[in-house]
Amino acid sequence: MSEPATGDLFKAKAVTDDEVNAAVDVFMRDPTVSMFRFASGHTLDLAAAVKAHEPARLAVTDPDRTERHRRLMVRNAILFAGAAGGAVVGGIPPARGRALEALRAVALHPLGLRLSAYPKAMRALVGRGFVAVRPAQYVGRKWDEQAWFLTNAGHELIKTLGTGDHG
């Protein structure tokens, strides 16, 4: 699977609005910046992102464009980066290895995944806001049994990363 676009990471809440605004600020101060790191660990080549996005590239070089228009075009370039093929979004994904396996397991069990599944990985996913504990809904549960469930952010992340089911 190819790396997600910054916009996909934004929708999955792995990258915040403030971080995107900060990336725009950095580019506007220095359009040659090639490395911007988001808190999630993902990195973005800002100069390449703008260069690959024609509307942004034209806006930043046109003296007749307003500052607001330039900033909006740079923001769009950052959000489309990765999908446009010009810049590389990489680094530490929001979930990888055992945590990604655990996240996908929860996604495959919409009535809840037993708490004994992936205990260490789940703690990390809970800490990042992708998984929560709620009353179990599956058949055969005890009346007070709890289970792992995806949060809204977890659902968005699964939309971005996929379930891993290739069939």
Site of tokens 């660990």: 41
What integer pLDDT is reported at residue 45 of this predicted model? 84
66 & 103 share domain:
no
133: DSSP letter: E
Q: How far is 55 from 64, CA to CA, in rounded Å?
A: 14
What integer pLDDT is reported at residue 1 of this predicted model? 43
101 & 49 share domain:
no
25 & 67 share domain:
yes
18 & 46 share domain:
yes
150 & 109 share domain:
yes
Examine residue 32 and state whether it is found in any structural domain, yes or no: yes
- Mean pLDDT, consecutive 10-residue stretches, the chain (167 aa), reads 73 87 93 82 85 90 94 92 46 66 92 92 80 90 91 80 65
Last residue of a domain, one of 80, 108, 128: 80
Cβ-in-10-Å burial (0-12, 13-18, 19+) of 146 comes to: middle
25 & 60 share domain:
yes
C-beta of residue 131 within 8 angstroms of C-beta of residue 151 = yes
First to last CA, the chain: 14
The number of distinct structural domains making up the chain is: 2
Last residue of a domain, one of 24, 55, 80: 80
What integer pLDDT is reported at residue 111 of this predicted model? 94
18 & 66 share domain:
yes
Examine residue 92 and state whether it is found in any structural domain, yes or no: no
CATH classification of the domain holding 121 = 1.10.10.10
What domain range includes position 32?
Answer: 6-80
Examine residue 42 and state whether it is found in any structural domain, yes or no: yes
